[in-house]
Amino acid sequence: MAFNFILVIAITLIVAFFLSKFMFKGQTKNLPKGSLGYPLIGETFSFLRAQKQDRGPEWLEERTSKHGPVFKTSLMGSPTVVAVGQAGNKFVLGTEEDVLSAKKPVALVAIAGKQNIFELTGSRYRLVKGAMVSFLKPESLQNYIKQMDELTKIMLLRETENKDTIKAVVTMKKLTFNIASSILFGIKDEHTREVLFDDFSLAFKAGWSVPINFPGTVYWRGLRARSRIVSRILPILKERREEILQGKLSPTSNVFSCLLALRDENEQPISDDLILDNYVTLMIASHDTSATLMSLMIWKLSTDSEIYKKVLDEQMDILRKREEGAEDRLTWAEIQKMKYTWRVAQELMRIIPPVFGSFRKALKDTEYGGYDIPKGWQVYCVSHGTHMNKEIFEKPTEFDPSRFENPSKPIPPYAYIPFGGGLHTCIGNEFARVEVLTTIHNLVTMFEWSQVFPDEIITRQPMPYPSMGLPIKIRPRKL
């Protein structure tokens, strides 16, 4: 069995090697310098290994020092041009979608689905984006604050009950998953959420893997997890559709009901497949990135007493100024007062961006920096190229939240990109801000904590997390 598996892998690599030779035979295009690496695999393993060791910037710098700020490689199963710097960010994120599409790598598309919002273009993209934005814009978020605050309190109390130590990363992942499931999609059943959480954990890892669909691989496990997610959500869609027809559910109740009520340009409902693909996509996008930032906030507050004191003072001041007799729930106005806490989050996202970079796909032959980019190739920009640039951010290696308060010079466009940029700027950035601030408010006002391992480092898996899961000793705060 093992020999047969190795033989299949070997044959696949050999075939891929000769196919790549055939595809580029006689090609006269002026491609950037660099290496496409091994057949099929490319440089994916070395890239992911560097990320896991928190050496992503070094991996990048090794290639830019050798080939310049524009170089070619092969990542996640596709030949890729990497463009580093502000101009590169603007090219990748700001070019019109008929030239560079937000289409994702092969593995991520297989997990998210072919009709996810990043794969859509034109009227279908605008239709689905409009439905999602209607639930993620500030006017709508104001209606979710109390529900999000209550859910956060309940989960934190439950996760810490009869415990003096918890793993903060797992707790934050559960919290963000339950907030998205409950508030955005109206999935209230706890057992359903628990099962979906386990499968989404597998699916997300597979989205950043080499797309080899053999039993036992991360990709194979992720595809099976996606199938189970679809099987569990389809009956929920059927039930919601019937409730809308019977007038029991408003089309504006949650994202599911809104998508079910959508009609295309021909007044036809959109397919279940499209709804499922965008459910998976939105859950992945809203779950892990927010959990990353929350975990990094807890990690930073654990290691920097000065930052912690300022955040604590700001959050306790909100409680002190709450009117006597007022409901013990956060309000939209109170969220807006958390300016310093959010600046800490902004600085964390500058130094340790949750997403290392952004992919686009060339829909036609194009060029950048004097080099040709063939149709079908990926292009990739990275946050590190500008976030740690001393010409843009003074003393970039220093942690200084005040740089986002009154910067001595404005931050130029496409230089700070934790939420992407251009046409496909993250539509959930405001939802993430409210979610993070609500969580940190409850953590610092309800609990005190300390790290079990003070020297715990950050690694990318592929998101940046404390390497040991951030175990913390936690106890209720004495007010």
- Give 411-440 pLDDT, tens digit per residue: 999 999 999 888 778 888 999 999 999 999
Instruction: Give the residues across from 118 on adjacent strands.
Output: none
Question: How many other CB atoms are there within 10 angstroms of residue 21's CB atom?
Answer: 10
H or E, element range at 332: helix 332-336
Structure tokens at 151: 């859910």
Q: Please, what is the Cα angle at 243 between 237 and 245, to 5 degrees? A: 105
Instruction: Answer yes or no: are the C-beta atoms of 267 and 244 closer than 8 Å.
Output: no
pLDDT in tens, 221-265: 999 999 999 999 999 999 999 999 898 988 888 899 999 989 888
129 φ, ψ (degrees, to nearest 5): -60, -40
Parallel, antiparallel or unpaired: strands 464-466 and 458-460: antiparallel
7 pLDDT band, cuts 50/70/90, is very low
Angle at 76 between CA 70 and CA 81, to 5 degrees: 15
User: Which amino acids are annotated as binding site, given as ranges?
Assistant: 426
Which amino acid is it at 162?
A: N
For the segment 356-366, the average pLDDT, to the nearest whole number, is 93
What is the reported pLDDT for 220?
96
- pLDDT score recorded for residue 27: 53
Among the listed ranges 10-14, 178-182, 369-373, which one has the minimum average pLDDT value? 10-14
Token pair for 65 = 């020092």
Residues listed for the chain = 479
- Coil/strand/helix, residue 56: helix
Band the pLDDT of 325: cuts 50, 70, 90. Answer: low
Query: In sequence order, which residues have a C-beta less than 8 Å from that of residue 227 and are 6 or more positions away?
Result: none
Q: Which residue has the higher pLDDT, 406 or 439?
A: 439
* Tokens found for residue 257: 């009901």
Residue 460 · residue 52 · CB < 8 Å? yes
Please report, as a single letter, which amino acid is at residue 265: E
Give the least confident one: 194-203, 217-226, 277-286, 308-317. 277-286
Percentage of the chain beyond pLDDT 70 is 93
Quick one: pLDDT at residue 23? Answer: 46
Judge whether residue 352 has pLDDT over 80: yes
Beta-bridge mates of residue 451:
472
**Start-to-end Cα distance in the chain:** 63
pLDDT in tens, 87-106: 999 999 999 888 998 877 78
- What's the whole-number average pLDDT of the chain? 89
Domain ranges for the chain: 2-20+29-476
| Stretch among 27-41, 138-152, 206-220 having the lowest mean pLDDT | 27-41
Backbone angles phi, psi at 354, to 5 degrees: -55, -40
pLDDT band with cut points at 50, 70 and 90 for residue 26 = very low
Which of 19-23, 294-298, 402-406 is most confident?
Answer: 294-298
Residue 148 has pLDDT above 50, yes or no: yes
Q: Sign of the CA dihedral 330, 335, 339, 343?
A: positive
Average pLDDT over residues 313-328: 85
Burial class (CB in 10 A: 0-12, 13-18, 19+), 337: middle
pLDDT: is 309 or 428 the higher one?
309
Q: Which band of pLDDT confidence, cut at 50, 70 and 90, is reported for residue 8?
A: very low
DSSP code per residue over 356-368: -EEEEEESS-EEE
Residue 33: which of 6, 5, 66, 58 has the closest Cα?
66
pLDDT mean over 200-208? 89
Residue 479 has a pLDDT of 67
Q: What angle do CA 245, 248, 254 make, to 5 degrees?
A: 90
Whether 466 and 169 have beta carbons less than 8 Å apart is answered as yes
Residue 345, pLDDT > 50, answer yes
**pLDDT for position 40:** 75
CB atoms within 10 A of CB 45: 12
Q: Are 166 and 302 in contact (CB under 8 A)?
A: no
pLDDT > 70? residue 22? no
Work out the average pLDDT over 197-212: 88
DSSP state at residue 456: P
pLDDT class of 123 with cuts at 50, 70, 90: confident
Q: CATH topology for 2-20+29-476?
A: Cytochrome p450 (1.10.630)
Structure tokens at 175: 């919290």
Structure confidence at residue 253 (pLDDT):
87
- Residue 178 to residue 176: CA distance in whole angstroms: 5
The pLDDT assigned to 438 comes to 97
Annotated binding-site positions for heme: 426
